[in-house]
Amino acid sequence: MKSLRNSEEVVEGLGEKVIEALGAAIPRTRLDLARYQAMLPDIVATSSSRGLANWFHDRIWFHVVSDIETLDNTVIVDRGPTREIVIDGSYRIRVKRHDKKGQISTYPTQSALEFLSQPPEQLVLDGLAEVHLIAGYQWNPTTHEIGPAVLSLRDGRNNVIWMMELPDPATGAPVIDITGPRTPEIPTIEFPSSSVGETEVRPQ
């Protein structure tokens, strides 16, 4: 059974490969941006904030999909403006830019509002509904830099239940909760060691 409020259960449900792919996509996108700036500095300098955000999204999406599209439990949805990753038929993930408090910007279409609202917990526990998650990165509006990779869960457009920083596989960094405790203290969960280092999930 899954709990909407328990970030550790969500991380376990997604699995190590998905968490690593979501975490690795951000430093890879940062490197893509550095190459873009080196080759076409004038174009980058004159790009709008929205234009760069769309470019970041395309690169993140490319990196994540490249890592997980061959997984048996994964379905990639890429239809027009709708891009989603479905894991085990239980978790549906979209990619968005977050601010420091976990807030995101999106057009309030009916589809978007439905995605940002979680289904009733009992339906999730019974396996009749999906948990909706948003992956991406934190944006520093002062320095105009891509911050750490994050994963968040909300119930409603502005109600962030939790947001966590995802590991950078190159450093073996742990999954770290950013918004503070939102669930009871529970034992630490550790994934088995892998070639990119052990991923530790701290209690939320």
Is 16 part of a structural domain of the chain? yes
pLDDT digits (tens, 9 = 90+) for 32-61: 999 999 999 999 999 998 899 999 999 999
In the chain, the number of structural domains is 1
Whether the CB-CB separation of 56 and 49 falls below 8 Å is answered with: no
Is 2 part of a structural domain of the chain? no
Is 61 part of a structural domain of the chain? yes
Report the alpha-carbon angle 81-147-181, nearest 5. Answer: 95
Whether the CB-CB separation of 13 and 191 falls below 8 Å is answered with: no
Is 48 part of a structural domain of the chain? yes
Is 148 part of a structural domain of the chain? yes
Minimal CA–CA distance to 1: which of 123, 181, 110, 96?
123
- Specify the pTM: 0.81
Domain residues for the domain of 148 are 7-201
Q: How confident is the model at residue 131 (pLDDT cuts 50, 70, 90)?
A: very high
Is 1 part of a structural domain of the chain? no
Whether the per-residue pLDDT at 71 is higher than 90: the answer is yes
pLDDT digits (tens, 9 = 90+) for 20-35: 999 999 999 999 999 9
